[in-house]
Amino acid sequence: MEYFDINSVAELHHFFRYSKPLHPLITIVDMGLVDRTHRKPNVGYRIGLYGITLKKVKGNFKYGRTHIDFAEGTMLFTSPDQILFPDPDNQVEGWGIFIHPDLLNATAKGRKLTEYSFFGYDFNEGLHVSDAEKKVIEASLKNISSEISSTLDDHSHHLILSNLELVLSYAARFYGRQFMTRVKPAHDLLERFESLLTDYFKKDFLIQSGLPDGKYFAERLGISTNYLSDLLVKYTGKSTQTHVHLKLIDKAKHLLWSTSYSISEIAYDLGFEHPSHFTKLFKNKTGYSPKAYRALN
């Protein structure tokens, strides 16, 4: 597979055949003015920048092996080094903010912005914003554009980050709304997750496979690990790991009361290499050591 790497704002502008950037570490691009005529089909490009975009696309947009429909307009959040396969014949409208990691990593405030979970979402988990929400986001976009276009001073970096924080904070709010308005698909995913979790712990011995992680479930559900985690927290108040641990504790309780296995044997059967780790987790979740819990029967 052939890839084209883009590692700076200047390289991005050159690739887009766009005007010279006004700031070395951040840019706002009118996606409708990007020149796509020089792109080759089936060639991916990998951008070493954070991206926040709102696009309307007429044509196919491929992420991995998935074709995504952006005809209605979708807000996307990408972290550095994600690989895109856009069709060179696409007609695209909208805007994009592209940020070099150095701009964010320079301060604690900036580093905190990289922690928003939706930077790890798949493209088919984009944010669909209403016209009113779009206006709210674009108010901060105008402020960022103004700072980029002005002569840089001691306040520029702080003001750019503050407006980026507003964009991301509103996005987090709007994602919360999106989770709540798509109740049926969300509940379907939760039911499938619970089924996968139950089936996993039906195994007699987990020592060979170990405890499942978020990636295990996300791959089988066809969603990103971050999206699954946020979905579970939104609807259940518990993280993926917490759900795994609770199911594990349920099975441990069953084994403690229904078998004569030693604590060490139960720990190994549940996938723990060290029984002490099992004892610590069990006591943390139940308030009892495994031995004390067995004595309750």
Whole-prediction pTM? 0.81
Residue 142's domain comprises 3-181
pLDDT in tens, 157-181: 999 999 999 999 999 999 999 888 8
CATH of the domain at 107: 2.60.120
Give pairs for 156-165: CB < 8 Å, separation 24+. Answer: 157/103, 157/106, 157/107, 158/109, 160/26, 160/103, 161/103, 161/104, 161/107, 161/109, 161/110, 161/113, 164/97, 164/99, 164/113, 164/140, 165/109, 165/113
CATH of the domain at 284: 1.10.10.60
Least confident range of 49-63, 165-179, 207-221, 281-295:
49-63
Statement to judge: residues 124 and 222 lie in one domain: no
Statement to judge: residues 201 and 117 lie in one domain: no
Statement to judge: residues 219 and 156 lie in one domain: no
Concatenating the DSSP letter of every residue in 193-254 gives HHHHHHHHTTSS--TTT----HHHHHHHHTS-HHHHHHHHHHHHS--HHHHHHHHHHHHHHH
Statement to judge: residues 177 and 215 lie in one domain: no
What is the residue type of 129? V
Statement to judge: residues 52 and 87 lie in one domain: yes
Residue 61, pLDDT above cutoff 70? no
* Average pLDDT value for residue range 55-67: 57
Statement to judge: residues 43 and 117 lie in one domain: yes
Structure tokens at 31: 């996606």
Statement to judge: residues 168 and 247 lie in one domain: no
Total domain count, the chain: 2
pLDDT of 8 = 95
Statement to judge: residues 37 and 111 lie in one domain: yes
Last residue of a domain, one of 159, 181, 203: 181
pLDDT in tens, 207-259: 677 788 999 999 999 999 999 999 999 999 999 999 999 999 999 999 899 88
**pLDDT greater at residue 297 or residue 95:** 95
